[in-house]
A and B are shown apart, each in its own frame.
Chain A
Amino acid sequence: AQSVTQPDIHITVSEGASLELRCNYSYGATPYLFWYVQSPGQGLQLLLKYFSGDTLVQGIKGFEAEFKRSQSSFNLRKPSVHWSDAAEYFCAVGPDSGTYKYIFGTGTRLKVLA
């Protein structure tokens, strides 16, 4: 069955430090991969997505992610974190073949220290 794993529930980094959030997936076919961000009290906003082509994907707010098929991973990175990046981040894969069902990870909550 398809699944998404975000192994880190919480991550704390200092402002200005680099960031990497991990995402591993299990998917039978070529996956469509997404990263969303949820600021406190808000809905989810798309950061970036990967469907095909270049495995390094650029997104909004200075984020990027790299698709590594051999490792079944789609990790999110940012070279220098800002205090406003404190939020919860969700990785998603899908949709399931023949449906519109997307599978979301359990999320990683990012805390940024001043």
Chain B
Amino acid sequence: DVKVTQSSRYLVKRTGEKVFLECVQDMDHENMFWYRQDPGLGLRLIYFSYDVKMKEKGDIPEGYSVSREKKERFSLILESASTNQTSMYLCASSPRGTVQETQYFGPGTRLLVL
């Protein structure tokens, strides 16, 4: 089974802190994604990566950056956390190939910024 793990299920940070959210997948997938999930807004794409060191902005990249140094790991970075970044963050991965490939999701990290 494909497994996508996220480093923390719950995280509490202070405004202005630098925050790292880590995501690891064990199926050698080329594509990895970071989404933000908020009530009433569904899932919104922050960034995705289609290969090591490659990244593209999603719909809401402002205030975030990403890093993909190894194929299995995709990190989301909040350079200076703000209260409006309190949210659920979901990581996903999918294999390259046909564009119809399923995305596999991690359990999510619920981040609270005080």
Contact = CB atoms under 8 A, between A and B. Distances in A.
Interface string B70-82: 0000000000000
A45 B102 CA distance: 10
Contacts of A45: 105
Given A32-B100, A43-B4, A101 B42 contact: no
A51 B105 contact: no
Interface of B: 4, 9, 31, 33, 35, 40-45, 48, 50, 56, 58-59, 90, 92, 94, 99-100, 102-108
A36 to B, nearest CB: 8
Contact of B45 (A32, A46, A101): A101
A102 B105 contact: no
A45 B107 CA distance: 10
A43 B108 contact: yes
Contact of B43 (A9, A51, A95, A104): A104
Contact of A90 (B42, B50, B102): B42
Interface of A: 4, 9, 32, 34, 36, 41-46, 49, 51, 90, 92, 95, 99-102, 104-107
B41 to A, nearest CB: 6
Contacts of A36: 105
Contacts, number: 56
Given A9-B40, A43-B90, A44-B90, A102 B107 contact: no
Contacts of B33: 100
B106 A100 contact: no
A106 B42 contact: yes
A41 B94 CA distance: 22
Contacts of A44: 43, 90, 92, 103, 105
27 contacts: A4-B42, A34-B102, A41-B9, A41-B107, A41-B108, A42-B108, A43-B4, A43-B92, A43-B107, A43-B108, A44-B43, A44-B92, A44-B105, A45-B105, A51-B100, A90-B42, A92-B43, A95-B99, A100-B31, A100-B33, A100-B50, A100-B99, A101-B45, A101-B58, A104-B43, A106-B41, A107-B42
